[in-house]
Chain A
Amino acid sequence: MYKINLLKTLTFLFFAITISVGATNNTDQTSSAEQESPVKNLKIEIKEYINHHLLDSYDFTFFSYTNDAGEHKYVSAPLPVILIDNGLKIFSSSKFHHGESVAEVDGDYYVVYHNKIYKTDALGTIESDEAHHATNEKPMDFSITKNVVFIIFVGLFMLLIFSRMANSYKNNPMPKGIGRLFEPLILFIRNDIAIPNIGEKHYRKYMSYLLTVFFFIWIINLLGLTPLGVNVTNNIAVTLALALVTYFITTFSGNKNYWKHVFWMPDVPWPMKIILAPIELLGTFIKPFSLMIRLYANITAGHIVMMSIIGLMFVFKNWIGSSLSFGLALALALLELLVAALQAYIFTMLSALYFGSAVEEHDHH
């Protein structure tokens, strides 16, 4: 846990720096970038790149480069955009040309501005208020974005691996192939997470969720670290969905004893019961909320720090600094491998703990 705290501290420091730097430079990036020194320009480019990397996008970009003529070229696959705006509208994201042009669909015009789709006119005007927030109408956006594609990919990958593993048990009681790797993990989740936290009696019905959430977070975190992988768990929407499932399972499996502990804490004087009830009720929301934030913050932090250190190699441009950054980036990459598994473990562990408190029967304090 010490390492995680260290990482968090690092991240917050980094956040503070980027935000303060960003605040000064945000207003007139393009004009100042041309006038400033090339190093400043590079720094801004790195920051922009990191921000861009962390965001979802409407097409699956493998890489981008600037050609000799100074044009920015993207090597990418377009993805379907699904909007609900006076009916269902489905079109290819290639119409946006990587956010550089206005897409016209059935007489309506849409534009991508700060990674969000806005309704606009033929010229693509974006009206904004004083705080630089766009005030254009936002259609309901259910697009199959890069992250959604990656979630589907990981889902299919898991289905393939684990159903094959399940099949290998049909004629052989011992695990085969990939099952040799996963069976100890499955047993670990059953014996060291589910049974101690939920109890021998009830653990079975939560196993499917615990196993899926563990392997989903772990695999998607690991793949997020690969060059072509997409970092999915740094989206608050994804972690919210996961935490919400935990919340609903906890709430719906809560027995009489659980609700009694929430609303009318036994064995304390009655004024305390009244004080404790709202706190406990709030606690039921805070628990999954902390799950959401923890996963999101750890993964985002790891990626920001790592990319910043990789960016430092290009900023230093000398033997000592760049090689130091390289060493640091390598160490961090290894740490991120650990964090990927650790976060999956923590999420699963805490979910099991919450389920356990919901089904706990005996009355001890």
Chain B
Amino acid sequence: MDKLIEQFSLGLFFWQLILFVALVLLLKKFAWKPILNAVNDREEGILKALDEAENARKEMQNLTADNERILKEARVERDAMLKEAREMKDSMITEAKSEAHAQATKVIDQAKATIESEKHAAITEIKNQVAELSLEIAEKVMRNELSDKNKQIKLVEDMLKEVKL
């Protein structure tokens, strides 16, 4: 220890301290700061690039998923459209059928009604004609018959019998 203190050189200590502090400051300005900044920037750049790559990958995945989804949707839509068309067709056919049926029924009904009314008219006319004819016949018969009293009575009686029928 004695030897150490004896060997201690104030001058060397002084120079070492001054030079070393100067070296720290100079290196800080000219070397360490630029180097550490460059290294930091590079590391950040690498991290960013990795991040971006990851994002791109995710986006790519999203895009693919989107595409698939859109395709699926399109397919569903197409199916739906086809189904709808089919349904429309069916419904149209059904509607047409029912309408036609209704129309036909109506026509038939009308025809029936016309036939009925025609029939009535015809019957009425026939009745009228029959009545006229009968009256004419009756007139003729009457003229013929009324010439004889007995015959008249008999006729009235017959007629009365007939009426009962």
List chain A positions with a Cβ less than 8 A from chain B. 55-56, 82, 115-116, 133, 140-145, 147-148, 151-152, 155, 158-159, 162-163, 165-167, 169-170, 173-174, 179, 183, 186-187, 190, 204, 207-209, 211-213, 216, 235-238, 240-242, 244-245
Count, A-B residue pairs, CB within 8 A: 130
Q: How far is the CB of B38 from chain A (nearest CB, A)?
A: 4
Cβ-defined partner of B27 (8 Å) among A204, A211, A238? A211
Q: Are A212 and B24 in contact (CB under 8 A)?
A: yes
Give 6 nearest A-B pairs by CB, closest first.
A162-B31, A169-B38, A166-B34, A237-B13, A208-B28, A241-B16
Minimum CB distance partner of A131 in chain B: B2
Given contacts A166-B31, A208-B28, contact A237 B10 (CB under 8 A): yes
Given contacts A166-B34, A241-B17, contact A216 B12 (CB under 8 A): no
Minimum CB distance partner of B41 in chain A: A173
Given contacts A151-B16, A208-B28, contact A142 B11 (CB under 8 A): yes
Cβ-defined partner of A145 (8 Å) among B11, B17, B31, B41? B11
Label chain B's interface by main secondary structure: helix
Report chain A residues within 8 Å CB of B9. Answer: 56, 116, 141, 145, 235, 237
Interface bin, chain B? 20 to 34
Q: Are B20 and A242 in contact (CB under 8 A)?
A: yes
Distance, CA A216 to CA B21, complexed state (A)? 12
- Interface set, chain B 19-56, CB cutoff 8 A to A: 19-24, 26-28, 30-36, 38-39, 41-42, 45
30 A-B contact pairs sorted by A residue (CB < 8 Å)? A56-B12, A140-B11, A142-B11, A143-B11, A144-B15, A148-B12, A151-B19, A158-B23, A158-B27, A159-B23, A159-B31, A162-B30, A165-B31, A165-B35, A166-B35, A167-B34, A183-B39, A208-B28, A209-B24, A212-B24, A212-B28, A235-B7, A236-B8, A237-B10, A237-B16, A240-B8, A241-B13, A241-B16, A241-B17, A245-B21
Given contacts A155-B23, A183-B39, A212-B27, contact A142 B15 (CB under 8 A): yes
B163 within 8 A of A: no
Distance, CA A213 to CA B32, complexed state (A)? 12
Q: How far is the CB of B48 from chain A (nearest CB, A)?
A: 13
Q: Are A238 and B16 in contact (CB under 8 A)?
A: yes
Minimum CB distance partner of B9 in chain A: A237
Given contacts A140-B10, A162-B32, contact A208 B42 (CB under 8 A): no
Minimum CB distance partner of B32 in chain A: A208
Given contacts A166-B35, A169-B35, A169-B38, contact A216 B11 (CB under 8 A): no
Report chain A residues within 8 Å CB of B41. Answer: 173
Q: Are A216 and B23 in contact (CB under 8 A)?
A: yes
Given contacts A147-B12, A208-B28, contact A236 B7 (CB under 8 A): yes
